[in-house]
Amino acid sequence: MFGLAPEDWQAIEVTFRLCLYTTLILLVIATPIAWWLAGGRSPARVVVQAIVALPLVLPPTVLGFYLLIVLGPRGFVGGTLESLGLHHLAFTFEGILIASVIYSMPFAVQPLTEAFSSLGRRPAEVAGSLGAGIVDRFFTVILPLTKGGFVVAATLTFAHTLGEFGVILMLGGSIPGETKVLSVLIYDHAEAMNYEAAHRLSFMLMVFAFVTLFVVYSITRRFEVAKV
C-alpha cells in the first residue's frame, strides 16, 4: 500500500506506538504537575515551571546526551537496572519512551496549566465540600470542565513526539522495530540517496501533522465559543 516497504511499515508501527504511549503516560504525569503549577503559592513553582520548559529551549542533543549517560549501562538508572539483572535502557524502546516523555512534557503541562488556571479552584472546592474525594472530583468536575485543555494537551504531545529526531538518534540509534522511528528512517533514506522513499514518508507526515493541528484548533475554537 502507498508503495511502502516492510521497513517503512515497521517504522510507522514503532512511531505510533511511541506517540501513543508517550501521550498516555504524559496525561497521567502532567495532570497533577499542571494542577499544582496552576494553584500553588510556593516559590518552588517557578523552579518546576522552568524545568518543565527546558526541553523547549535545549538542543535535543543535549537532552539525548544526558539521557544516554543516565540510562546507559554505566549510568545511575541503567547501572541500577543492570545490577538487578535487567537490561539498561540505552538503544531500547523503553529508553526512547522515557526520553519522549521528558521531551514532550511542556506540550502536555502548559495547556493543562492554562486550562486549570482559567477554571480556578472554586469548582473543585465545591465538589470537595459536597463529599467528593480527589479522584471523584477529578473525573466528575475537573475533567468535564477542562476537556478542551486535555484534547489540546494530548494532540500536541502526540504530534510533537511524532516530530522527535535528535533525542531519539542520540539515545536510541536506529534499530529497526525497536528505535527506528519515521523521522530517523527518513534521515536514513535521504542519507542513502533514496529520495523517493524519503519523499513519500515526509509527505505523509506533513499531511498527518496538518490534519492533527487543524482538528486541534477547530476543537479549541469550539470550546472557546462554548465558554462565552
Residues in touch with another protein (CB under 8 A): 122-123, 125-134, 136-137, 140-141, 144-145
Min separation Cβ 128 and another protein, Å = 4
Q: Which is nearer to another protein, 109 or 142 (CB)?
A: 142
Helix or strand run (H / E) with residue 204: helix 195-227
- 86 sits in the region (left: phi over 0; alpha: psi -120 to 50; else beta) called beta
* Least Cβ distance, residue 125 to another protein (angstroms): 6
Distance CA 19, CA 58 (A): 21
Residue 221 burial (C-beta neighbours within 10 Å; 0-12, 13-18, 19+) = exposed
Nearer to another protein, 112 or 198 (CB): 112
User: Residue 134 CB, nearest distance to another protein (Å)?
Assistant: 8
> Which cell is 80 given?
541500577
Question: Are 65 and 170 spatial neighbours (Cβ–Cβ below 8 Å)?
Answer: yes
To another protein, the closest distance from the beta carbon of 110 in angstroms equals 23
Considering all CA atoms of the chain, what is the largest pairwise distance in Å, rounded to the nearest integer? 65
Between 79 and 128, CB nearer to another protein: 128
With a CB cutoff of 8 Å and minimum separation 6, the contacts of 109 are 30, 33, 34, 37, 52, 153
Q: How far is the CB of 92 from another protein (least distance, A)?
A: 41
Closest to another protein by CB, 25 vs 219, is 219
Nearer to another protein, 123 or 173 (CB): 123
